[in-house]
Protein backbone atom coordinates (compact mmCIF):
# COMPACT_ATOMS: atom_id res chain seq x y z
CA UNK A 1 0.00 0.00 0.00
CA UNK A 2 1.33 3.46 -0.94
CA UNK A 3 2.62 5.61 1.91
CA UNK A 4 2.22 8.83 -0.11
CA UNK A 5 -0.52 11.04 1.38
CA UNK A 6 -3.57 11.45 -0.86
CA UNK A 7 -4.67 14.76 -2.34
CA UNK A 8 -7.32 14.92 0.37
CA UNK A 9 -4.79 14.25 3.12
CA UNK A 10 -2.54 17.01 1.72
CA UNK A 11 -5.31 19.61 1.74
CA UNK A 12 -4.80 22.94 3.50
CA UNK A 13 -6.44 26.34 3.97
CA UNK A 14 -5.96 28.69 0.98
CA UNK A 15 -3.87 31.83 1.36
CA UNK A 16 -5.21 35.29 0.48
CA UNK A 17 -3.45 35.32 -2.92
CA UNK A 18 -5.02 31.98 -3.85
CA UNK A 19 -8.47 33.23 -2.86
CA UNK A 20 -7.93 36.33 -5.02
CA UNK A 21 -7.50 34.01 -8.02
CA UNK A 22 -10.96 32.45 -7.62
CA UNK A 23 -13.21 34.41 -10.03
CA UNK A 24 -16.65 33.56 -8.64
CA UNK A 25 -15.89 34.66 -5.07
CA UNK A 26 -16.15 38.31 -6.08
CA UNK A 27 -19.74 37.69 -7.26
CA UNK A 28 -20.95 36.71 -3.79
CA UNK A 29 -22.51 38.78 -1.04
CA UNK A 30 -20.26 39.18 2.05
CA UNK A 31 -22.01 36.50 4.12
CA UNK A 32 -22.03 34.13 1.13
CA UNK A 33 -18.33 34.72 0.54
CA UNK A 34 -17.50 34.04 4.18
CA UNK A 35 -19.34 30.72 4.05
CA UNK A 36 -17.67 29.73 0.78
CA UNK A 37 -14.16 30.63 1.95
CA UNK A 38 -14.61 28.48 5.05
CA UNK A 39 -15.47 25.51 2.81
CA UNK A 40 -12.57 25.87 0.34
CA UNK A 41 -9.39 23.82 0.62
CA UNK A 42 -6.39 23.66 -1.68
CA UNK A 43 -3.96 20.86 -2.40
CA UNK A 44 -1.02 20.17 -4.68
CA UNK A 45 -1.38 17.59 -7.43
CA UNK A 46 1.86 16.15 -8.76
CA UNK A 47 2.39 15.35 -12.47
CA UNK A 48 0.31 12.30 -13.42
CA UNK A 49 -1.91 12.44 -10.33
CA UNK A 50 -5.67 12.27 -10.80
CA UNK A 51 -7.85 15.00 -9.34
CA UNK A 52 -11.03 13.23 -10.55
CA UNK A 53 -11.42 9.62 -11.68
CA UNK A 54 -14.17 7.82 -13.56
CA UNK A 55 -16.54 6.15 -11.10
CA UNK A 56 -15.46 8.15 -8.06
CA UNK A 57 -18.25 9.95 -6.20
CA UNK A 58 -18.13 13.77 -6.26
CA UNK A 59 -17.29 15.41 -2.92
CA UNK A 60 -15.87 18.76 -4.11
CA UNK A 61 -16.31 21.21 -6.95
CA UNK A 62 -12.79 21.84 -8.24
CA UNK A 63 -10.87 24.73 -9.73
CA UNK A 64 -7.26 25.30 -10.79
CA UNK A 65 -5.17 27.95 -9.05
CA UNK A 66 -1.86 27.16 -10.77
CA UNK A 67 -0.58 24.49 -13.15
CA UNK A 68 -2.27 22.58 -15.98
CA UNK A 69 -4.85 19.77 -15.99
CA UNK A 70 -6.32 17.51 -18.67
CA UNK A 71 -9.94 16.31 -18.73
CA UNK A 72 -10.34 13.08 -20.71
CA UNK A 73 -12.17 9.78 -21.01
CA UNK A 74 -11.73 6.40 -22.67
CA UNK A 75 -14.17 4.38 -24.74
CA UNK A 76 -14.75 0.62 -24.50
CA UNK A 77 -11.82 0.02 -26.88
CA UNK A 78 -9.45 1.94 -24.62
CA UNK A 79 -9.12 4.89 -27.00
CA UNK A 80 -8.63 8.14 -25.07
CA UNK A 81 -10.35 11.41 -25.96
CA UNK A 82 -9.36 14.74 -24.44
CA UNK A 83 -12.38 16.91 -23.63
CA UNK A 84 -10.48 19.95 -22.42
CA UNK A 85 -7.24 21.36 -21.19
CA UNK A 86 -7.77 23.22 -17.92
CA UNK A 87 -5.49 26.25 -17.33
CA UNK A 88 -5.40 28.42 -14.19
CA UNK A 89 -8.61 30.26 -13.33
CA UNK A 90 -10.89 27.49 -14.57
CA UNK A 91 -13.45 25.62 -12.44
CA UNK A 92 -14.91 22.36 -13.69
CA UNK A 93 -17.30 19.52 -12.92
CA UNK A 94 -20.31 21.65 -12.03
CA UNK A 95 -22.69 19.31 -13.89
CA UNK A 96 -21.45 16.34 -11.86
CA UNK A 97 -21.62 18.40 -8.67
CA UNK A 98 -25.19 19.53 -9.33
CA UNK A 99 -26.34 15.92 -9.80
CA UNK A 100 -24.12 14.58 -6.97
CA UNK A 101 -23.15 11.69 -9.20
CA UNK A 102 -19.97 9.77 -10.00
CA UNK A 103 -17.44 11.20 -12.44
CA UNK A 104 -17.69 10.12 -16.07
CA UNK A 105 -14.24 11.48 -16.92
CA UNK A 106 -10.72 11.72 -15.55
CA UNK A 107 -8.93 14.93 -14.64
CA UNK A 108 -5.16 14.52 -14.47
CA UNK A 109 -2.33 16.91 -13.64
CA UNK A 110 0.10 17.44 -16.52
CA UNK A 111 2.48 19.33 -14.24
CA UNK A 112 2.69 20.23 -10.57
CA UNK A 113 -0.63 22.00 -9.94
CA UNK A 114 -2.41 23.78 -7.10
CA UNK A 115 -6.04 22.70 -7.06
CA UNK A 116 -8.85 24.28 -5.03
CA UNK A 117 -12.00 22.48 -3.94
CA UNK A 118 -15.34 23.79 -2.64
CA UNK A 119 -17.16 21.20 -0.53
CA UNK A 120 -20.20 19.82 -2.33
CA UNK A 121 -22.62 20.77 0.50
CA UNK A 122 -21.55 24.42 0.34
CA UNK A 123 -21.73 24.28 -3.45
CA UNK A 124 -25.42 23.33 -3.15
CA UNK A 125 -26.02 25.92 -0.42
CA UNK A 126 -24.74 28.61 -2.78
CA UNK A 127 -26.98 27.29 -5.55
CA UNK A 128 -29.96 27.62 -3.22
CA UNK A 129 -29.06 31.05 -1.84
CA UNK A 130 -26.82 33.09 -4.15
CA UNK A 131 -28.05 34.76 -7.34
CA UNK A 132 -24.51 35.70 -8.36
CA UNK A 133 -23.30 32.12 -7.95
CA UNK A 134 -26.25 30.77 -9.94
CA UNK A 135 -25.48 33.09 -12.85
CA UNK A 136 -21.85 31.99 -12.81
CA UNK A 137 -22.79 28.30 -12.86
CA UNK A 138 -25.34 28.81 -15.67
CA UNK A 139 -22.68 30.52 -17.76
CA UNK A 140 -20.21 27.73 -16.97
CA UNK A 141 -22.65 25.04 -18.11
CA UNK A 142 -23.41 26.90 -21.34
CA UNK A 143 -19.75 27.50 -22.17
CA UNK A 144 -18.75 23.96 -21.20
CA UNK A 145 -21.34 22.49 -23.58
CA UNK A 146 -19.87 24.50 -26.42
CA UNK A 147 -16.38 23.43 -25.39
CA UNK A 148 -17.26 19.73 -25.45
CA UNK A 149 -18.92 20.06 -28.86
CA UNK A 150 -15.76 21.80 -30.05
CA UNK A 151 -13.63 18.98 -28.61
CA UNK A 152 -15.56 16.46 -30.72
CA UNK A 153 -14.96 18.58 -33.81
CA UNK A 154 -11.24 18.93 -33.02
CA UNK A 155 -10.94 15.17 -32.59
CA UNK A 156 -12.18 14.69 -36.17
CA UNK A 157 -9.99 17.32 -37.82
CA UNK A 158 -7.40 15.96 -40.25
CA UNK A 159 -5.28 19.12 -40.32
CA UNK A 160 -2.75 19.16 -37.46
CA UNK A 161 -2.45 22.94 -37.71
CA UNK A 162 -6.19 23.35 -37.22
CA UNK A 163 -6.16 20.90 -34.30
CA UNK A 164 -3.49 22.91 -32.53
CA UNK A 165 -5.16 26.24 -33.38
CA UNK A 166 -8.58 25.28 -32.04
CA UNK A 167 -7.15 23.55 -28.99
CA UNK A 168 -5.28 26.77 -28.15
CA UNK A 169 -8.41 28.83 -28.73
CA UNK A 170 -10.29 26.62 -26.25
CA UNK A 171 -7.63 27.30 -23.61
CA UNK A 172 -8.17 31.04 -24.06
CA UNK A 173 -11.94 31.06 -23.51
CA UNK A 174 -12.31 34.14 -21.24
CA UNK A 175 -15.66 32.94 -19.88
CA UNK A 176 -14.16 29.69 -18.57
CA UNK A 177 -10.61 30.79 -17.85
CA UNK A 178 -10.44 34.42 -16.67
CA UNK A 179 -6.69 35.04 -16.61
CA UNK A 180 -5.71 37.30 -13.71
CA UNK A 181 -5.22 40.88 -14.80
CA UNK A 182 -6.20 40.01 -18.38
CA UNK A 183 -2.85 38.31 -18.92
CA UNK A 184 -3.08 36.28 -22.11
CA UNK A 185 0.22 34.44 -21.70
CA UNK A 186 -0.33 30.70 -21.32
CA UNK A 187 2.49 28.85 -19.59
CA UNK A 188 2.66 25.57 -21.47
CA UNK A 189 5.37 23.39 -23.01
CA UNK A 190 5.22 21.74 -26.39
CA UNK A 191 5.03 18.33 -24.73
CA UNK A 192 2.06 19.39 -22.59
CA UNK A 193 0.30 20.77 -25.65
CA UNK A 194 1.05 17.52 -27.50
CA UNK A 195 -0.66 15.57 -24.69
CA UNK A 196 -3.74 17.79 -24.99
CA UNK A 197 -3.96 17.77 -28.79
CA UNK A 198 -3.01 14.14 -29.39
CA UNK A 199 -0.09 14.87 -31.73
CA UNK A 200 3.64 14.36 -31.54
CA UNK A 201 5.78 17.08 -29.97
CA UNK A 202 7.55 17.65 -33.30
CA UNK A 203 4.25 18.12 -35.15
CA UNK A 204 3.00 20.54 -32.50
CA UNK A 205 6.24 22.52 -32.91
CA UNK A 206 5.62 22.78 -36.67
CA UNK A 207 2.03 23.90 -36.11
CA UNK A 208 3.11 26.58 -33.64
CA UNK A 209 5.61 27.89 -36.18
CA UNK A 210 2.84 28.09 -38.78
CA UNK A 211 0.50 29.92 -36.42
CA UNK A 212 3.18 32.37 -35.36
CA UNK A 213 4.22 33.09 -38.95
CA UNK A 214 0.56 33.87 -39.70
CA UNK A 215 0.41 36.33 -36.79
CA UNK A 216 -2.11 34.32 -34.76
CA UNK A 217 0.16 33.69 -31.77
CA UNK A 218 3.45 34.86 -30.34
CA UNK A 219 5.68 32.12 -28.97
CA UNK A 220 7.70 33.13 -25.92
CA UNK A 221 10.06 31.28 -23.65
CA UNK A 222 7.97 29.08 -21.38
CA UNK A 223 4.67 29.76 -23.08
CA UNK A 224 2.75 31.53 -25.79
CA UNK A 225 0.53 34.55 -26.22
CA UNK A 226 -2.57 34.77 -28.40
CA UNK A 227 -2.47 37.68 -30.87
CA UNK A 228 -5.57 36.84 -32.95
CA UNK A 229 -8.06 34.63 -31.11
CA UNK A 230 -10.59 34.67 -33.95
CA UNK A 231 -7.97 33.38 -36.38
CA UNK A 232 -7.37 30.41 -34.09
CA UNK A 233 -11.09 29.73 -33.66
CA UNK A 234 -11.96 30.00 -37.35
CA UNK A 235 -8.77 28.75 -38.97
CA UNK A 236 -8.06 32.06 -40.73
CA UNK A 237 -4.33 31.59 -41.18
CA UNK A 238 -1.94 30.37 -43.83
CA UNK A 239 -1.23 26.63 -43.68
CA UNK A 240 2.25 26.93 -45.18
CA UNK A 241 5.00 25.70 -42.91
CA UNK A 242 7.64 27.98 -41.48
CA UNK A 243 11.09 27.10 -42.75
CA UNK A 244 12.57 26.97 -39.27
CA UNK A 245 10.39 25.50 -36.53
CA UNK A 246 11.68 26.69 -33.18
CA UNK A 247 11.89 25.34 -29.68
CA UNK A 248 10.95 28.36 -27.57
CA UNK A 249 8.01 26.72 -25.82
CA UNK A 250 9.96 24.68 -23.27
Instruction: Identify whether residues 91 and 177 lie together within a single domain.
Output: no
When pLDDT is cut at 50, 70 and 90, the band that residue 74 belongs to is confident
pTM comes to: 0.78
When pLDDT is cut at 50, 70 and 90, the band that residue 241 belongs to is very low
More confident residue, 183 or 6: 6
Instruction: Identify whether residues 98 and 10 lie together within a single domain.
Output: yes
Q: Provide the H-helix boundaries in the chain.
A: 16-20, 30-38, 94-99, 120-129, 131-156, 160-171, 190-197, 201-213, 229-234
Instruction: Identify whether residues 164 and 150 lie together within a single domain.
Output: no
pLDDT digits (tens, 9 = 90+) for 156-166: 666 888 888 88
| Last-in-domain residue among 110, 141, 156 | 156
Cβ distance 231 to 237 under 8 Å?
Answer: yes
| Last-in-domain residue among 156, 184, 206 | 156
Cβ distance 137 to 188 under 8 Å?
Answer: no
Instruction: Identify whether residues 151 and 186 lie together within a single domain.
Output: no
Instruction: Identify whether residues 91 and 129 lie together within a single domain.
Output: yes
Domain count of the chain?
Answer: 2
Instruction: Identify whether residues 115 and 69 lie together within a single domain.
Output: yes
Q: In what order do the strands lie in the sheet with 106-109?
A: 50-52, 106-109, 69-74, 80-86
77 — phi, psi (to 5°)?
-90, 0
239: how many CB neighbours lie within 10 A of its CB? 13
User: For residue 235, what are the domain limits?
Assistant: 158-250
pLDDT digits (tens, 9 = 90+) for 15-65: 999 999 899 999 999 999 999 999 999 999 999 999 999 999 999 999 999
CATH code, domain carrying 25? 2.60.120.10
Average pLDDT of the chain? 84
Assign 187 to helix, strand or coil: strand
Instruction: Identify whether residues 25 and 11 lie together within a single domain.
Output: yes
Instruction: Identify whether residues 125 and 11 lie together within a single domain.
Output: yes
Provide the 8-state DSSP code for 26: G
Instruction: Identify whether residues 55 and 146 lie together within a single domain.
Output: yes
Amino acid sequence: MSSTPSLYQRRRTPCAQELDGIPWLRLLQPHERDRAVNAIHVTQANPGEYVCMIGRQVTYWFGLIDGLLKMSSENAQGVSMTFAGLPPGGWFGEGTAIKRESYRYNVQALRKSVVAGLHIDTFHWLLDNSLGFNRYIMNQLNERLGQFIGAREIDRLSSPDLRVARSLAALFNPALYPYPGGNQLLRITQQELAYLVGLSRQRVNEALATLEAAGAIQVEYGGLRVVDLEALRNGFFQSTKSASAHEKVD
